[in-house]
Structure formats: structure tokens, C-alpha cells
């Protein structure tokens, strides 16, 4: 076989990056579970009609075909790979509603696939980490307050650059545009959402051209979009615009609650940013977008919001709120720039040196004694000179080498060179050396 080459858009990490990803995922899982989110894994495929429900993503979907499909067995025709974790989650909830307890809070960490043209931060296969809470019929707004706190804990547990979550509320915007007298508030949201791409002047033009907005109305829309405060003071600035509407009041109140809770729990994390809208139509309350300091050009690394109508079947509806972390997007940037790495490329904490081939069984027993106490241990592959065995450990970043001898076992910290006799039944490495750790590069 000739040497294979990487596939564009399908990132794979080298061993240190693999360790970083494993620890990032484990940290996310642990945080999500502390908040009672239950693990969920769904199949990678969905029927095409589920995937195409919203139309706009159709060209990104990977369709599956069996290489030698039987014409008489259509059971797996019409399947595609999921492009996010929301569609499969909504389908799982509907399919199993009778067997689930609501409110149902789950996390889901799986790859997704989109046939997009690859570029930095956009992959064809990428790992997402989602949390959602759905309920039957109604969902209290306090979950919109809770979700960003979970994400704050998850991201703060990792050595990432600072993150800022920009938050808005669809009710606030929709109510404002209604109170302003615009004919189609949802269309106004879609137009104002383009402000970062096309600029305020073009937004004003479109508001006039598409919605027949007056100059004063367009100006008010832009004034709302300009409001961005790190605390609840946005409410005063909205009030100062002089628009009144009951839905606007609800939206302001809900956003104040989100911002105030976050200010207590994770000072500096949240910004109320009234131009954030999220493209997708299904959001109905709080919306979230998150940016990594120094990597704003990547786009949002954690987005989501409140939805009321994503999953519904017959008379039943399942409103929810969810946030999705772009794990591959974050790691692609930070591993690519060597801003993150691992303290070693293997889980191994101790290498047992092999004095000679005859002592392999004894060395295996020593390794087992350490493993039984949770210390990851390998035995050297061959009875080479000790210098070579130590280099085996060095090349992998293994911090300790154990030397079995007739007088007992000695363990050397190969970073400092310090070597001491130990009792393998009680010796413990420093806590920070027990497992590989993620460190800023």
C-alpha cells in the first residue's frame, strides 16, 4: 500500500492531540453529569426526510448507499448522516416519548457530517457536544438561565483562552419590532441578523425595501442592535428607546434573569448583545453565541437557544433549550496553533525497565501491582541497555521509570533524575503526574 494522505475536512489528531481531545470530552461529560444531564448516543444515520425537514441544509447532507444494494431490500435506502445533534435528539424524544421522564435533560457528544467546502473551523466531520433540556407542552424559563452556567463550568475547567457568550432573547426583538409597528417581526429579525456581514446601512435599506420600514423605524432597529452590555443595564437602554409591547417586557425580563445569574456564577462570561439572532427560525426565546478570545474569526464555538416547536407529534409538543459546543472547531484551532498540548502522548505514568528477558514475568507482576492502585504502567518492550529504555520513556513523556532489582524496586523521575528506593505496594506519583494533563502550548 502506498503512503496514505490526509482527507481535507476530516481532521485527525496526532497522539498528543488525541489525549487532549479525550480529556476535553471527559471534562465536558463530567460537568454535564454534575448537572444531571444523562448521556445519550444516537445512531449516526437518519432518514433523509428528517434531515431535509428544514430544507436549507439539503446540500450538506451525506447520503448513504450500500455498495451492493439489493433492490428487494429497501430497509436502508434513504438514509443520510446527521449534520447536527439536534435533529437526532428531537427524533429520539418523539420516538421514545412514552418511555422518557420529562423534563428530559441529556448531553450528547458525537461526530456530525456536512459536505461543506472545508476551511478553518469548518470540517466535513466534526465533534459536537450538546446539552438540551426538553419538557412536554411547556418549559419554564429558568432553564434558559441554567444552561449557560453549565457551559461556563465546562469551559472554565479547560485551559482555554477567555470565552465570551453573547446572549439575546427572540421575544425581546420580536416584541420590540411589533411595538415599533413593523409588519413582519420575524423577517425583521432575519434582516438585522445580517448586520455583521452587510453593515448597518444595508440593514436599514433592507428593512425599508422589504418591510416598508420608515426611517425612524429603521433607526430604532439599528439602535436596538447596537445595545451590548456586560450586565442588566441593557434594560434601561431598551426602555430609553420608548417602544412598549408585552412580549418585549417578557423578553427583557428573561434576559435580565440570564445575565444576572451568570454575573453571580461566572463573572465576565456573559454579554447581553441585542443584535444576536441565530439564523435558524426555530428559536423562540434566549439565544446564545460564544466566542474564543483571539479566535473570533472562527465564528461561534458554542451556540444554541430556546425552541418551542422543534419536536412535535400530533397534539404533543416538546419545547426545549439547548447549547452545542463545537469541539473540533476549538481543538482544530488550538492544536493547530500549538496553543494546547498534553503533558505526554501516552496514558502511561510508569515504565517498568526490563533487566533481562528472564525477568519479564516479575516485571509484569510489578506492573500489575501499580495498575491495581490506578497507576498506568507499561513494561519495556525489550531488555535493552537502561539508557535506551529511559529514552523510550522520554520520547513519550512518561515521567517515571521503575527499576526492579535484587534489593527491591527503585523509581526514577526521569525529568529530575532523582532515583529512590520505593515500596511498590504504597508508592504513589504526585497527583499531577498520575494522568496526562492538558496544558497551554
Q: Binding site for L-histidine: which residues?
A: 84-86, 114, 128, 132, 278, 282-283
Strand 270-273 relative to strand 163-169, pairing: parallel
Which residues in 315-344 contact a second copy (CB under 8 A)?
none
Q: How far is the CB of 76 from a second copy (least distance, A)?
A: 6
Q: Does 312 bind a second copy (CB under 8 A)?
A: yes
CA distances from 23 to 11, 334, 346, 436 (A): 18, 14, 12, 9
Dihedral sign computed on CA atoms, order 26, 32, 37, 40: negative
Length of the chain, in residues: 441
* Helical packing angle, 142-156 and 15-34, nearest 10°: 150
Q: How far is the CB of 144 from a second copy (least distance, A)?
A: 13
Q: Does 111 bind a second copy (CB under 8 A)?
A: yes
| Residue tagged 439536534 (cell numbers) | 86
Q: Does 212 bind a second copy (CB under 8 A)?
A: no
One of 388, 395, 421, 440 touching a second copy (CB under 8 A): 395
Q: Does 124 bind a second copy (CB under 8 A)?
A: yes
CA angle 60, 62, 65 (to 5 degrees): 155
- 401 within 8 A of 412, measured Cβ to Cβ: yes
For a second copy, the closer of residues 184 and 231 by Cβ is 231
| Residue tagged 446564545 (cell numbers) | 288
Query: How crowded is the C-beta side of 381, counted as CA atoms within 13 Å?
Result: 4
Residues 6 or more apart in contact with residue 187 via CB below 8 angstroms: 210, 211
One of 225, 311, 327, 334 touching a second copy (CB under 8 A): 311
Binding segment toward a second copy, per CB under 8 A, in 161-169, 288-296, 333-341, 346-354: 346-354
Q: Does 119 bind a second copy (CB under 8 A)?
A: no
Q: Does 157 bind a second copy (CB under 8 A)?
A: no
Binding segment toward a second copy, per CB under 8 A, in 5-13, 269-277, 289-297, 407-415: 5-13
Which residues in 32-91 contact a second copy (CB under 8 A)?
33-45, 47-48, 50, 53, 58-69, 73, 75-76, 79-81, 91
CA angle 284, 98, 41 (to 5 degrees): 70
Q: How far is the CB of 314 from a second copy (least distance, A)?
A: 8
Residues paired with 81 in a beta bridge: 45
Provide the annotated binding site.
84-86, 114, 128, 132, 278, 282-283
Q: How far is the CB of 296 from a second copy (least distance, A)?
A: 28
Q: How far is the CB of 399 from a second copy (least distance, A)?
A: 13
Would you call 83 helix, strand, or coil by DSSP?
coil
Q: How far is the CB of 407 from a second copy (least distance, A)?
A: 25
Amino acid at each position: 500500500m502506498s503512503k496514505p494522505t490526509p482527507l481535507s475536512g476530516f481532521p485527525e489528531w496526532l497522539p498528543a492531540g488525541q489525549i487532549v481531545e479525550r480529556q476535553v470530552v471527559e471534562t465536558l461529560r463530567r460537568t454535564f453529569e454534575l448537572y444531571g444531564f444523562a448521556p445519550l448516543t444516537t445512531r449516526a444515520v437518519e432518514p433523509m426526510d428528517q434531515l431535509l425537514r428544514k430544507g436549507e441544509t439539503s446540500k450538506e447532507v451525506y447520503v448513504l448507499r450500500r455498495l451492493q444494494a439489493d433492490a428487494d431490500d429497501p430497509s436502508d435506502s434513504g438514509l443520510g448522516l446527521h449534520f447536527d445533534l439536534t435533529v437526532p435528539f428531537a427524533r429520539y424524544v418523539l420516538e421514545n416519548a412514552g418511555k422518557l421522564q420529562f423534563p428530559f435533560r441529556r448531553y450528547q457528544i458525537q461526530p456530525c457530517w456536512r459536505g461543506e467546502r472545508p476551511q478553518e473551523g469548518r470540517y466535513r466531520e466534526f465533534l459536537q457536544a450538546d446539552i438540551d433540556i426538553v419538557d412536554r407542552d411547556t418549559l419554564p424559563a429558568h432553564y434558559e438561565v441554567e444552561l449557560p452556567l453549565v457551559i461556563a463550568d465546562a469551559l472554565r475547567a479547560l485551559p482555554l483562552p477567555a470565552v465570551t457568550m453573547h446572549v439575546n432573547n427572540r421575544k425581546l426583538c420580536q416584541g420590540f419590532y411589533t411595538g415599533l409597528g413593523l409588519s413582519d417581526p420575524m423577517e425583521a429579525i432575519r434582516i438585522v441578523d445580517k448586520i455583521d456581514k452587510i453593515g448597518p446601512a444595508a440593514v436599514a435599506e433592507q428593512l425599508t425595501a422589504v418591510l416598508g420600514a420608515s426611517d425612524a423605524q429603521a433607526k430604532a432597529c439599528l439602535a436596538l442592535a447596537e445595545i451590548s452590555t456586560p450586565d442588566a443595564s441593557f434594560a434601561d437602554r431598551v426602555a430609553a428607546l420608548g417602544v412598549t409591547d408585552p412580549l418585549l417586557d417578557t423578553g427583557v425580563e428573561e434576559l435580565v434573569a440570564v445575565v444576572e445569574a451568570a454575573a453571580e456564577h461566572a463573572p465576565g462570561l456573559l454579554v447581553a448583545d441585542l443584535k444576536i439572532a441565530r439564523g435558524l427560525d426555530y428559536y423562540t426565546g434566549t439565544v446564545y453565541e460564544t466566542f474564543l478570545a483571539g479566535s473570533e474569526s472562527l465564528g461561534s464555538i458554542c451556540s444554541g437557544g430556546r425552541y418551542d416547536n422543534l419536536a412535535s407529534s400530533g397534539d404533543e409538543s416538546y419545547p426545549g433549550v439547548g447549547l452545542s459546543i463545537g469541539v473540533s472547531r476549538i481543538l482544530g484551532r488550538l492544536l493547530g496553533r500549538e496553543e494546547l498540548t498534553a503533558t505526554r502522548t501516552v496514558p502511561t505514568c510508569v515504565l517498568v525497565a526490563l533487566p533481562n528477558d528472564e525477568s519479564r514475568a516479575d516485571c509484569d507482576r510489578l506492573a500489575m501491582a501499580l495498575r491495581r492502585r490506578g497507576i498506568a504502567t507499561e513494561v519495556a518492550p525489550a531488555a535493552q541497555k537502561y539508557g535506551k529504555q529511559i529514552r523510550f520513556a522520554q520520547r513519550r513523556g512518561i515521567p517515571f521509570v521503575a527499576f526492579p532489582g535484587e534489593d527491591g524496586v527503585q523509581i526514577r523521575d526521569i525529568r529530575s533524575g532523582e532515583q529512590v528506593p520505593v515500596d511498590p505496594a504504597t508508592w504513589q506519583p504526585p497527583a499531577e503526574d498520575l494522568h496526562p494533563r492538558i496544558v497551554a502550548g
